Structure 1
Amino acid sequence: MTSVRPLRALGAAAAALLLTGLLAACGGDAAGRDPVVPATLSAQSDAASPSADAETLSYAGRTGATALELLLAADPSAEVTGEGENAFVTGIGGRVADDSKKEFWSLSVDGEPAQVGAGTLETEDGQEITWTIETY
């Protein structure tokens, strides 16, 4: 018969590791800023879109951070091709833009379309950064 104790110890170690990571994520950086970016994912009520797939992501701007840096902090699994000023966002929150439907992820700041790419767009405190699936 196999002992349950090694499994309990493994489970306790995994829980301790998870808790340590969560506590570290809640701490601020040396400048006192919170590295965690509160973000809101939402699905549009379009019958053609599965409700589990996010259609919009919004988060607050932060002075000194690009829209791309904040996106990756809010959604580390976001899909991006290229990097820096050549970065092109293709997927957010598990929702990938569908080329066959001529979809793309559109970036806006305070409700206005961004004039530069996410890797170039320097955000400011108080701005609302929004990504939305759109078609061309």
Structure 2
Amino acid sequence: MNTTSRRPLRALGSAATALLVAGLLAACGGAATEPGAMVSATLSAPSDAASSASPSDSASPAAGAETFSYPGRTGATALELLLEADPSAEVTGEGENAFVTAIGGRVADDSKKEFWSLSVDGEPAQVGAGTLETEDGQEITWTIETY
């Protein structure tokens, strides 16, 4: 069984990842409604980091990002849309067994008991990202949480 479906190049630093995400966001321009269209996504840093960020810090939104959101699209899974919005996202397993370990360069730290939690329209998802069929108009959000 393949235990890794996507792995980014480890040599990419957070600055390169931030540029990649910024380029993806700039290229998207809006919500995707057609199959194969790009996905518009938003990275958010923790609120306490945002208040102390200097102008140079704001140039790298992926650094320390705690939340990642994008719109749903009828017929696409949350995992498919995540990988469209952030090709550098790290996932172990496949399909219904997929487990997201990093988004936007932010790795969930096992030593801190962190994980990426999936929600739809503010409610925790009841199935995994590889199984969750999204719909137009839904807001899909990933948030770093602890267990």
TM-score range, shorter chain: 0.7 to 0.9
The aligned counterpart of 1:55 is 66
Structure 1 unaligned blocks of 5 or more: 1-21
Alignment partner, residue 142 of structure 2:
131
Of 68, 75, 82, 2:79 maps to: 68
TM-score (normalised: structure 2): 0.67
SS in 2 for 1:104: strand
1:42 to 30, 41, 44: 44
Supply the distance in 1 between the matched residues of 2:125 and 2:94 (Cα, whole angstroms): 17
- Report Cα offsets for 1:33-65 as digits up to 9, x if no partner: 561100000101345xx9722110000000000
Partner of 1:83: 94
Q: 1:105 aligns with which of 113, 116, 120?
A: 116
* Equivalent position amino acid for 2:122 in 1: G
Distance 1:46 1:92 in 2: 20
Q: State how many pairs are aligned.
A: 107
Runs of 4 or more off by more than 4 Å in structure 1?
A: 31-34
In structure 2, the gaps of 5 or more residues are: 1-23, 58-62
Within-5 A mapping of 1:12-23: none
Q: Which has the higher contact order (CA 8 A, sep 6+)?
A: 2
Provide the rounded CA distance (Å) in 1 between the counterparts of 2:123 and 2:34.
30
Q: TM-score, normalised by structure 1?
A: 0.72
Computed over aligned residues only, the root mean square deviation of the Cα atoms, in angstroms, reads 2.2
**Cα distance between partner residues in 2 of 1:84 and 1:62:** 17
Distance 2:71 2:36 in 1: 12
